[in-house]
Amino acid sequence: MNTDLQDYSHKRYNILTGEWVLVSPHRAKRPWQGQNEAVSNAVRPAYDASCYLCAGNTRINGEENPKYEDVFVFTNDFAALQTESKNFNVNDGLLIAQSEQGICKVICFSPDHSKSLADMDAKDIEKVVFAWQKEYAELGNNPLINYVQIFENKGAVMGCSNPHPHGQIWSQTTLPNEVDKKDQQQRAYYDKNKSSLLGDYIQQELTKQERIIFENDGFVVLVPFWAIWPFETMIVPKQQQQSISDLKGNDTFLFAEAISVITKAYDKLFNTSFPYSSGIHQAPTNGKDNSHWHWHMSFYPPLLRSATVKKFMVGYEMFGSPQRDITPEIAAQKLRELI
């Protein structure tokens, strides 16, 4: 391990976005007198009559959920994107805008209100993967949709308004900012090297074994060299695949196993139901040649040094660039020890 990276401030380059993150390992020992988050480890019931997402309950719009037994998907009652939005453009000097259309869905991972992905076994998580695949294919085949974003916000500190185990799928006409950056970076690398950017990256990581947390026959779970969040991780298929539609045979279970392993490790880290935002970045559904894409799933957890102390993206992070204290190598070591 390069000791300079563990002892001195430096910048690390994010190969997927073309941006830099400032790393300040010497600051990890500084005392904390700031905000402490409230921690709730209360055991939730398996069914909550007041929950809009529980099986058989009536949602705010008057629709009744079916008595679902595993995964349930429905169109978001408060969608951020509209399918019937008017098409328009604004080009008024430096005032530029354009209409955006899309479809937003909610996916309930389980009828059990008390669970999170960390509490589910890999076979049940695989059912969620199957649902993701179905929605990606169906939404992507809609001429209106050119990108499908699958994500989950877990925990109140991440803005999750309902503790029932669920995620969301926002699909839209154009590529969101983060996806557009990754599309350009991967395409440039593929055009130059005729190989996958992430494929070559994980081969280097597998050789070094400094940031690898877990691997099975199909996937690697690691802390990216350029990670921004303290315990940020990424799940990457070992073989290049453009999207989750490319998962075949046992691939879906191996992916589910990787999700199970990292979410369980998170909960053990600070002995709490670990909050995070997770998301899958994969090939656009725009009908173009996306052979440069290598899909991956990222987890961005905010907790820094305990269940009550979180990382804030403020000040320098807002006006300069992202910054982290604990190094990716130390974060990987801590998580690896919990598996």
The span from the first CA to the last CA of the chain, in angstroms, equals 21
The model's pTM: 0.95
User: Exposed, middle or buried, 92 (CB in 10 Å: 0-12/13-18/19+)?
Assistant: exposed
Q: How confident is the model at residue 308 (pLDDT cuts 50, 70, 90)?
A: confident
- The stretch 25-33 carries a mean pLDDT of 64
Position 27 scores a pLDDT of 80
Q: Does position 128 have pLDDT exceeding 80, yes or no? A: yes
Asked whether residue 1 carries a pLDDT value surpassing 80, the answer given is: no
Instruction: Annotate 73-138 with DSSP letters as a single string.
Output: EEE-TT-SSBTTPPP-EEEETTEEEE--BEEEEEEES-S-TT--GGGS-HHHHHHHHHHHHHHHHH
Query: What is the pLDDT at residue 38?
Result: 56
Residue 130 exposed, middle or buried by CB count within 10 Å (0-12, 13-18, 19+): middle
Q: Report percent pLDDT > 90 for the chain.
A: 87
The residues that are catalytic are 166
Question: pLDDT by residue (tens digit) across 169-207?
Answer: 999 999 999 999 999 999 999 999 999 999 999 999 999
CA 98 to each of CA 37, 60, 179, 245: distance values in angstroms, whole numbers, following the listed order: 39, 31, 18, 30
**Model pLDDT, residue 33:** 45
pLDDT over 70 percentage in the chain? 96
pLDDT band for position 29 (50/70/90)?
low
Is the pLDDT at 37 greater than 80? The verdict is: no
pLDDT in tens, 252-261: 999 999 999 9
Q: What backbone torsions phi and psi does residue 31 show, to the nearest 5 degrees? A: -65, 155
As a whole number of angstroms, the distance between CA 249 and CA 147 comes to 25
